[in-house]
Each structure stands twice: as C-alpha cells, then as structure tokens.
Amino acid sequence: MNKVEWSDEVQNIMVGDLTAAISYLTPAGGAVVTTVSPLGIVDRAAGTVGFTTSLGFGKKLEHILRNPRMAICYHARDHGFSTSSSLVLVQGHASVKLTPSPERLDALEVQMARYLGEAPSGRVWDWILREYHQERVVVDIQVDRVTTWPDLSAAGARSTGEPAWPTAPDSQPAPAKGTGPRVDIAKIGKRLRKPPHRLLAFQGADGYPVVVPVGITGQGPEGVQLEAPEGLLPEGARRAGLVTHQYNAKCVGLTVCMCTGWLEVSGNGARYAPHTFRVLSAPPMKNLMMLANGLAAKHGLRQARRNGTVESLAKLAAGTRETTA
C-alpha cells in the first residue's frame, strides 16, 4: 500500500491534541477502545503516527501484536494546541517497539514535558519514575487511511482518501454467554454519562477498528441508549467497545470509563449492553499523580517479568518481525 498523505490541518490536529482514543481488536472480533496521550508522535514523511504505553499493559500489547490493525481517533481539543473543529480517524497497521532506543526515550521525555508538564526530579523522584520513563513501549502505526469530519461530533460530510471507506460490516454472531448486560446498569450508567467525551469502537468490514463519537441518551435494564449522526453506526448487531472520559490540563486529573459489550442498531435506535466495566482515574495533583504513575509502572513491570509476560511479548514481537520481513 502506498504511503498515505494528509493535510496541514490534520497534521496540526495530530501534533496538537493532548489526548486521543485508540482501538485494537480482540480474537472474537470485538474492539477495545481506550485513551492515550499521543505526545505529538507523528512522522509525516514516513506516514506514521504513534503513542507510548507500558509493559504493564501486557494484554493490550498482546492483542496488538497478534492483530496489528489499529485505529486512533483525534476527537478532543481540550487543553491542546490545535483549534480545529475537525474529527480525525486514522486506521493502520501497528509496529510495537518493546525496547526503544535511548535516543527515542530521550526524545519522549522532551515530548512528555511539553504535553504533560515537567516531571518532578531529584534522587528520590528519579528512582520512583525510573521505570515510568525508561521502560516505555512505543507503538508506531503505519497509516493506511485518514478520514475526517468537519465537526467533532462526526456531523457533516465524511472525507476519506484512498482506500475508500468500506461498506457497512455484516452483523456478528451472538456471544455464547448472551448479549444482555453483565454489569449493573443502574450503578454504572451515571458514571458512563458524566464524562463529556464518549466514543464507540467496532470492527469495520475491512478488518480495521472504527472509532466514532456517540451520545448517551438513557439507560434501562437492557443497556444504555446511544445516539450518533445518521449513518455513522452500522445497522445490525456486533461486539463493540465504549469509552467515556474527561481530563484536565496536562492530564493532571482524569477519569476514563471503559466497557466491552454488545451493540444493536436498528431503525428504533442504538442500544449498548456492557459486558465489562473498568474505571481508571488520576488525582488532580501533579506530584500525587506522578507518584501513582511511578509506583504503578514499577509494580506492573515486576509483575510482567515474574509472570512471563515480558518474555511472551518478546517472542510475539520476534515472530511478527519474521512474518513481515
């Protein structure tokens, strides 16, 4: 596939946004969606975008290594550097760097300072944040398609270059455990609705994840009701991921609510039945947040080494390189 090019406006969004939503696929055909701080990781000349994560998130990295089709949605301008009103969805193939070069890690620290603020330093802080800064994983996405909408709600005409936007995906078989909610909707409904940013992800007809903004209009025993611009959600039923989130400047204080579940779309509207629910949060105090990040990185790395995750990911990464060589 030829290198994909994009406009100056899209470049400004990619470099400027403080947060973005990423989505990757599961073996069952579901899509998981969560948020990252992409730190302006964009190489326009190479046709790539990216983000950084931790070895402590082994399951996410395993899914990406097994199926590198990914999407990243630049959907929010809060506290960033771009003032564009456009929504940008990037789809492509991911390449996971489990051990980035020292030069790249140094460059990441500079980017972190720009987007997330200067990290505390000193003998104790350097020890606390050692794994957080030096044991990073970088995921580069070779861009295969860029799609834009003129409005962050995905209203208005969609603009897609080559390859063209695929036809709507077929419905998926129902899960063996049933399609209804597996969590208490009464308890999680309010938490899902509180954050201002809400995105849904599902597998498109060409095998790439699709990430789009949605609204939550109500809830009941069968799930939550969603709304979206006409034609944005495909008719039928399928596995899907849902994320709602909010964040402050420099991401000092944030809340991320994540679900996996079952989506049904018909002429009567869209209903989402959550099967799993998870909340991640960070306190709105810089040093307390960095302490939590540093200790979580230490614990996650130790656990990943102890339970064989690091070794397993290294083997998967080596196999991926051999396959694509």
Dihedral of CA 256/77/96/144: which sign? positive
Contact 211, 91 (CB under 8 A): no
CA atoms within 13 A on the CB side of 290: 19
Q: Give the Cα-Cα-Cα angle 109, 112, 117 (nearest 5 degrees).
A: 120
pLDDT tens, residue by residue, 39-48: 999 999 999 9
More confident residue, 54 or 260: 260
The predicted model scores a pTM of 0.94
CA dihedral 242, 31, 17, 283 (to 10 degrees): 50
Residue ranges per domain, the chain? 8-167+174-324
pLDDT category of residue 323 using cuts at 50, 70 and 90: very low
Q: 206-262, pLDDT tens digit by residue?
A: 999 999 999 999 999 999 999 999 999 999 999 999 999 999 999 999 999 999 999
Integer angstrom CA distances of residue 10 from 15, 73, 90: 9, 12, 10
Q: How many angstroms separate the CA atoms of 209 and 26, rounded?
A: 10
- Per-residue pLDDT tens digits for 7-48: 999 999 999 999 999 999 999 999 999 999 999 999 999 999
Assigned fold of 8-167+174-324: Pnp Oxidase; Chain A (2.30.110)
Spatial distance between the Cα atoms of 304 and 292, rounded to a whole number of angstroms:
18
Sheet holding 254-266, edge to edge: 209-213, 197-203, 236-247, 254-266, 269-282, 223-227, 215-220
Q: What is the maximum alpha-carbon separation in the chain?
A: 61
The angle at the Cα of 237, spanning 231 to 242, to the nearest 5 degrees, equals: 75
Phi-psi region of 47 (alpha: psi -120 to 50; beta: other; left: phi over 0): left
CA 125 to chain centre: 29
What's the pLDDT score for residue 1?
A: 60
pLDDT score for 54: 83
| Amino acid, res. 137 | V
- For residue 116, give Cα distances in angstroms to 13, 38, 80: 17, 11, 10
Query: What is the C-alpha separation between 53 and 158, in angstroms, rounded?
Result: 30
CA 226 to chain centre: 20
Q: What is the pLDDT of residue 35?
A: 97
Asked whether residue 322 carries a pLDDT value surpassing 50, the answer given is: no
Check whether the bond before 163 is cis (ω within 30° of 0): yes
Please classify residue 125 by burial: count the beta carbons closer than 10 Å to its beta carbon, then call 0-12 exposed, 13-18 middle and 19+ buried. Answer: middle
How much of the chain, in percent, has pLDDT values that exceed 90?
Answer: 80
Share of the chain above pLDDT 70, in %: 98
